[in-house]
Homo-oligomer: A and B are copies of this chain.
Amino acid sequence: MKRTHNFNAGPAAIPLAVLEKAQSELIDFKGTGMSVMELSHRSKPYEDVHNKASQMMRELMDIPEEYEVLFLQGGASLQFAMIPMNFLKSGSPAHFVMSGVWSEKALAEAAKLGETAVIGSSKDDRYTFVPEKFEDPSEGSYVHLTSNNTIYGTQWKTFPKTKLPLVADMSSDIMSRKIDVSQFSLIYAGAQKNLGPSGVTVVIVKKEMLENANQEIPSILKYATHSKQNSLYNTPPTFAIYMLSLVLEWMKEQGGLAAIEELNERKAQIIYSCIDKSGGFYRGHAKKESRSNMNITFTLENEELTKAFLKESKERGFSGLNGHRSIGGCRASAYNAVPLEACEALAEFMTEFQKKHR
């Protein structure tokens, strides 16, 4: 069986070892005589999986005691609504730093629910960098940013210290590097890029945020509900959380976030240096200082070559190199589970393609 070089933007690659483990115990989970999918979410064997996943998150990300780790459903898109529902106070705006389409969506949903303000944006520069310089507001409900811009291929390298609670959409780079959780009041991410399959959303939230949250909202949309019940208020997506727990185990085996960060840096550099050495044959979208180690975006000299590149790469066993529908071009998503070898193979192919079509 040949594995495809999977550069999908999400859902994305999952470590082969994790898939093999899941496969081996799919029908009989640890001698229970059942699949993990068939376990009650109130049973001991499932609770062990569930609690292990949150323990491993804490351990790997070094999450302080005063934060909750929640496993929710609905993707990051539901967070776009839940965050303002819980934390946007009337007469106290939510501030947005705009670095791409996902920031725009987060803003649009908050704007339906209360007052918002834009405090920084790189939109006029086609989102080619992250707007690190913005006026830090001292009044308002919170500041929101997108740590990695999946579509444009840009990434915050250091995070701002804000006066208001800082909320970050880390959907496409969570656990790809070490970060200081204590700088944030809330971090959220769909699992389907770095952490496993789609269907579970990780939320890391400071407990004091929950105490001051809006009360008059549906139970299921209230973070406090899930925090009080260890993410077992209603039936959680048990299999997705199980897969997450396996991916976290695998991350630990890789040496944790420091080792993963280093490898991600190397993986990305292999492709970026191929772009940089191409003399303009390949053209990166992001400014160098904002380049993402997760999503590497580029186009070729012209539309025709871009098309040919995408077609040929597909034939050669690379998946997911198309750019997002909204901007076109090419994008290689090199999340945690994408092996170094896949990046090397891609760079090799890019070099070869250039020789042939120059």
User: Per-residue 0/1 for A202-232: is the Cβ within 8 Å of any B Cβ (1 yes, 0 no)?
Assistant: 0000000000000011111100000000000
Partner of A238, one of B13, B38, B198, B319: B198
Contacts of A40 in B (CB 8 A): 8-11, 319-320
User: From residue 1 to 60 of chain A, which have CB atoms closer than 8 A to chain B?
Assistant: 1-4, 6, 8-14, 16, 19-20, 22-23, 26-28, 32-35, 37-43
CB-based contact A38/B12 at 8 Å: yes
User: Per-residue 0/1 for A78-105: is the Cβ within 8 Å of any B Cβ (1 yes, 0 no)?
Assistant: 1011000100000000000000000000
Query: Quick one: copies of this chain in the complex?
Result: 2
CB-based contact A220/B77 at 8 Å: yes
What bracket does the count of chain A residues touching chain B fall in? Answer: 35 or more
- A236 interface contact, C-beta 8 A: yes
Contacts of A196 in B (CB 8 A): 37
A interface secondary structure, majority: loop
Question: Complex Cα distance A284/B320, Å?
Answer: 56
CB-based contact A235/B75 at 8 Å: yes
CB-based contact B20/A199 at 8 Å: no
Question: Complex Cα distance A264/B35, Å?
Answer: 22
Question: Complex Cα distance A77/B81, Å?
Answer: 17
- A290 interface contact, C-beta 8 A: no
- A243 interface contact, C-beta 8 A: yes
Q: How far is the CB of A156 from chain B (nearest CB, A)?
A: 22
Contacts of A238 in B (CB 8 A): 11, 197-199
Q: List 30 A-B contacts (CB under 8 A).
A: A4-B32, A4-B33, A6-B34, A10-B235, A11-B40, A11-B238, A14-B35, A14-B37, A19-B27, A19-B35, A23-B23, A23-B26, A23-B27, A26-B26, A37-B243, A40-B320, A41-B198, A74-B74, A75-B235, A77-B233, A77-B234, A78-B221, A80-B220, A109-B219, A199-B199, A199-B200, A199-B238, A199-B239, A237-B237, A239-B240
